[in-house]
Amino acid sequence: MAHEYECFVRNFSDLQEGSTVVLTLRSLSPGRRKYNARVVRARVSRLVEAGSDTLWARCMVGAKDPQPWSVQVIDELGPTVSGQPYSDIFDAMERLAPDARAGD
């Protein structure tokens, strides 16, 4: 069953066709657990086929990219990441994807 998610990115350009990235994936499935989040390593693509999970990207002011991505979760990284209070979550997630490159 296909799921729908959203994520926040520092810049929309942080997502590139075919790239593998570490994201905080937020569920958009209806119900009480809507918006619950987890950290994943995933591959994203602009090609959204029937049956694939859909990902919507929002920037840091909450504006939504009108074009969706398809997302394929490669690794579940847990609900949280290592870091001290007030440190940058985007930097922390980037450190978990040392091999993430466009076109991977």
Partner 1 sequence: MPEVPRDVRAFIQKLQETGDVAVVDREVTWDLELGAIGRRVAEADGPAVWFRHIQDYPGHSIFANPIATWRRAAVALGLAPDVPIPTIYETYSSRENNPIPPRTVSDAPCKEIVLTGDDVDINALPAPMVHEGDGGRYIGTWCIVASRALDSDWLNWGTYRFMVHNERTLTGWPLPTSHFGKVLQEQYVPRNIPMPVSIAIGADPASHLAATSTTRIGREEAALAGALAGRPIDVIRCHTNDLSVPATSEIVIEGEVLPDQIAQEGPYGEYPGFRSGEMGRGVLFRVAAITHRRNPIWTMDCTGVKDCSSIVTALGGGIGIRRSLERHGIPVTMVYVPPEGAIHMVVVGIRRGQGGPDVARRTLEALTARRVYMSKIIMVDEDVDVFNMGEVIHALSTKCHPVRGVHVVTYDGRAQTLTPYYNPDERSRRAGATMLFDATWPPGLRAEDTPVPTTFQGTFSEELKQHVLANWKSYGL
Single out the residue of 61, 66, 98, 99 in contact with partner 1 (rule: CB under 8 A).
61
For 38, half-sphere exposure in the C-beta direction (CA atoms, 13 angstrom radius) is: 12
- Using DSSP's 3-state secondary structure scheme, residue 33 falls into coil
Paired residues of 76 in beta bridges: 40
Q: Which residue in the set 85, 98, 99, 103 belongs to the binding site for partner 1 (CB under 8 A)?
A: 85
- CA distances 78 to 23, 49, 70, 93, 102, Å, are 11, 27, 21, 12, 23
* Contact pattern from residue 7 through residue 46 relative to partner 1, giving x for each residue in contact according to CB under 8 A and a dash for the rest: -x-x-------------x-x----xxxxxxxxx-------
Q: Which of 1, 13, 82, 103 binds partner 1 (CB under 8 A)?
A: 82
Q: Which residues bind partner 1 (CB under 8 A)?
A: 8, 10, 24, 26, 31-39, 58-64, 79-90, 92
